[in-house]
Amino acid sequence: MPRNLFLPIFSNRSFRALAGVLFVASLATASSQTYTYNVSKGARPFIAEMRPNAVLVYPPPKDDVLSEWVPLPFSWNLYGSPVTGFFISDNGYITFDGTAVSSDPQNRALPSPDAPRSAIFAFWEDLHTESGFPQWSNEVRTLLWGTAPNRVFVIMWIGVVPHGVGFSSSNTLSFAIALHEGGDFEIIFVGGNTSVRCSAAIGVQNADGTIATQVPGSPDIPYPAVTADPSDDIGYRFTWSNTALDLGIYECSLPPTVTIGIPQTIRGTLKNFGSREITGFDIVYRVDGGPEFRDSVRGIRIGTNETLAFSHVSLWTPTEAGRFHDVLVTVGNVNGQGLDENPANDSTSMRIFTILGKSGEKHVLVEEFTGTWCGWCPDGSLQMQAIQSAVRQAVLVAIHAGGVDSMIAPEGANLASAFTPSYPQAMVDRVQFPGQSKVPINRSGNAWLSRTLERMQAATPVTVGIAPAYDPATRKVTVDVTVRFEDYVPPGEDLRLHVFIVEDRVVGTGPGWDQTNYYSNNSCFPTHPYYGESNPIVGFMHRHVLRASLTGVWGIPLQQEYSPGSTRTERFTKVLQRAWKEQDIVFVAFVGRHDSAITQRSVLNAAKAPLLVGTFVESSTPYSFQTGEIFPNPSHGTVFLPIETGSETRVRVEIFDAIGRLVTPVHDEILRPGHHLIQVPFAPSSYGMHWVRIESGDRITVKAVAITP
């Protein structure tokens, strides 16, 4: 076997990896039938139906008891044999043994003849239900959901507690078993607290306690990290398998985007879904229907339900950018016998897009959900100030929403409704980070700043520039936003341009303006900067307030094909409200992905520009020309120079290096009256400070620009 080619996975590196390795009794491999399972994350529709429609099996209190016999509403088999009903235990399992009695709640590794038999163990621990609490806590309910032949019978433990801990909202566990009419069953973790003092066995065992399948770590698995948000529910779906020889591709992945010329490793995970041990196989991949690359692996042992990670010895080097490549991976010649008994899981295909690996200068969009009614939100404002101080390229926006607040913009209220934040929470480039159940994240552990720094390292295929112009007499703003593509973007990807109007340093007094402050004289936070402030804080200065969006809630689509060097400029106009202070207006523009899933709308890049600094003042008096600020600055290459001409004017633009030597003339032509955006290219090796000289008639302007690697 090639060195470092195959590494068994026996670690909890992710919930997927956890699900990949199961302990199975040696007797299980003696049969051609066994249970295998896969894990998935997300909401189950029948769980949402439990509250309005479920039937109470028994109310609290219950401690080490079995329910009355619950008949099954449809035919169902356990370990290949028909069962007609079951008992439910408050200790987190059901048993199909009609003679069962309440057993020792001490959980143990499976299989075990001393454990409940013909049983499914959702979370076998010494649990109980307590009385005296509101409905929908500390009880067990059942629900028949769906229509034949695809009905589901659900048993759910709602808010049970470990023995001896006592009931509180912070130590309850909710989980369920779902029996699918087709024969599968699922163990689902719905919500709970990982800090409670308990550990459990999760799995299933047969009628005499000699054969079982259990999740690795049993009987000492802590309750998994799931919240009340259904999007992070974890489900283990068990399937009864009749195959003896079945090696399948459990997981195979490449980055969805790869860079031309950089070798890629084809890697993934294989799983033994059959009852026979796997001792050898071939793993083959092809790209775009081309030649096969084959590894033959022998001398290994993969037991039932075990997984093995693979990394193909032959690397794939992408050779053409701007297109998709189809990668087909196949496993075969299992135990030297060619195809196994289940060819359906023997291959997988991936569609990979290739790019040049070029990136624009990254700016990170940080959007804080806040409100004057929110007593913890003063701390959110401090977190935003910390980001502003530490990350020059951060683009900050405060979205006021929720309760009574005079700064709620309609677009901000819609964003809050879609992303369902707590307050204060923040979105960093609208990314759903690993381990998070939704896009907005808490501020604990300086998470906003650390995620901002993390996103600063992300490559971006676009550069965004903003050139605002303003007529103070009419308060009319004209904003030109330019998007330049530095690299390829997959064709058909829905990219959207967003433009916000943000007002900094907003101050008012009275309800909707004064900031509620829970830190005021709070003995739990004696060193907090707002400890000595009043509650509410009268005249609180609100920073980075979203006032309006010029592109609606979800932006406007860009073109459907994107190639390096292409640009698109959009012009927007807006009359500023009289209440908005023009000297504090900032325009924020960003390009993001759009998807039907709210969690897949990440931001590629952002930019900001103040209204009055470096912008043009429109006037009825003709003028020759004025220049805006160069953007982006600093830059990795091309920059843009806004120019406004009031009449037909000849404009010459030249680039000089740091010591004043002419590098190249960029532009020399007559411009018509109006707004213009001059593209100023720099060579890839032109690192350092440069000067851009703009000449029109007898007027000369020189601007500095920094070019970085």
- For the cut 60, the answer to whether the pLDDT of residue 66 exceeds it is yes
Which amino acid, 536?
A: P
d(CA 63, CA 128): 5
d(CA 24, CA 242): 16
d(CA 646, CA 624): 5
Do 184 and 264 share a domain, yes or no?
A: no
Give the per-residue pLDDT at 196.
65
Stretch 56-80: mean pLDDT: 91
d(CA 446, CA 122): 36
Identify the domain boundary among 355, 380, 411: 355
- For the cut 70, the answer to whether the pLDDT of residue 111 exceeds it is yes
Q: Which domain holds residue 700?
A: 621-707
- For the cut 70, the answer to whether the pLDDT of residue 696 exceeds it is yes
Give the per-residue pLDDT at 167.
58
Residue 158 falls inside a structural domain:
yes
- For the cut 80, the answer to whether the pLDDT of residue 169 exceeds it is no
The string of pLDDT tens digits covering residues 366-375 is 999 999 999 9
Do 424 and 536 share a domain, yes or no?
A: yes
- The residues facing 499 across adjacent strands are 589
Helices 447-456 and 377-390: angle between axes, nearest 10 degrees: 30
CB burial of residue 395 (10 Å; 0-12, 13-18, 19+): buried
Span of 525-529, 534-538, 683-687 with lowest mean pLDDT: 683-687
Residue 615 falls inside a structural domain:
no
d(CA 123, CA 94): 10
Residue 130 DSSP SS3: coil
The CATH number for 255's domain is 2.60.40.10
Residue 605 falls inside a structural domain:
yes
More confidently predicted of 34 and 328: 328
Q: How far is CA 107 from CA 91, 96, 212, 329, 389, in A?
A: 9, 18, 14, 41, 53
The string of pLDDT tens digits covering residues 616-638 is 444 333 445 678 778 787 777 78
The string of pLDDT tens digits covering residues 400-414 is 999 999 999 999 999
Our CA dihedral for 131, 137, 140, 144, rounded to 10 degrees, sits at 150
**Position 251 confidence tier, pLDDT thresholds 50, 70, 90:** confident
Instruction: Tokens for 703, please give them.
Output: 């601007």
Counted domains in the chain? 4
The string of pLDDT tens digits covering residues 272-307 is 888 889 999 999 999 999 999 999 999 999 988 888
Residue 311 falls inside a structural domain:
yes
Identify the domain boundary among 313, 338, 355: 355
Do 141 and 221 share a domain, yes or no?
A: yes
Bridge-based pairing of strands 152-162 and 139-145 is antiparallel
Percent of the chain with pLDDT over 70: 90
pTM to 2 decimals? 0.68
- For the cut 60, the answer to whether the pLDDT of residue 360 exceeds it is yes
Residue 426 falls inside a structural domain:
yes
Bridge-based pairing of strands 585-593 and 425-428 is unpaired
Identify the domain boundary among 355, 384, 402: 355
Do 110 and 236 share a domain, yes or no?
A: yes
CB burial of residue 524 (10 Å; 0-12, 13-18, 19+): exposed
Contact between residue 361 and residue 635 where contact means Cβ atoms under 8 Å apart: yes
Residue 224 falls inside a structural domain:
yes
Instruction: Tokens for 51, please give them.
Output: 């509250």
Stretch 574-588: mean pLDDT: 93
Residue 171 falls inside a structural domain:
yes
The string of pLDDT tens digits covering residues 430-483 is 999 987 778 999 998 899 999 999 999 999 999 998 888 888 889 999 999 999
Residues 6 or more apart whose CB falls under 8 angstroms from that of 154 comprise 46, 47, 50, 54, 142, 143, 144, 145, 176, 177, 178, 179
Q: What is the 3-state secondary structure (H, E, C) of 22-34?
A: CEECHHHHHCCCE
Return mean pLDDT, the chain.
Answer: 86
Which amino acid, 680?
A: V
Instruction: Tokens for 596, please give them.
Output: 């039907």
- For the cut 90, the answer to whether the pLDDT of residue 138 exceeds it is no
The string of pLDDT tens digits covering residues 654-689 is 887 765 667 777 788 888 887 777 888 887 667 777
- Residue-by-residue DSSP string for 605-616: EEEEEESSTT-E
Residue 518 DSSP SS3: coil
Angle at 177 between CA 172 and CA 183, to 5 degrees: 170
d(CA 349, CA 329): 6
Helix (H) or strand (E) holding 384: helix 377-390
The string of pLDDT tens digits covering residues 321-353 is 999 999 999 999 999 988 888 888 999 999 999
Stretch 493-519: mean pLDDT: 95
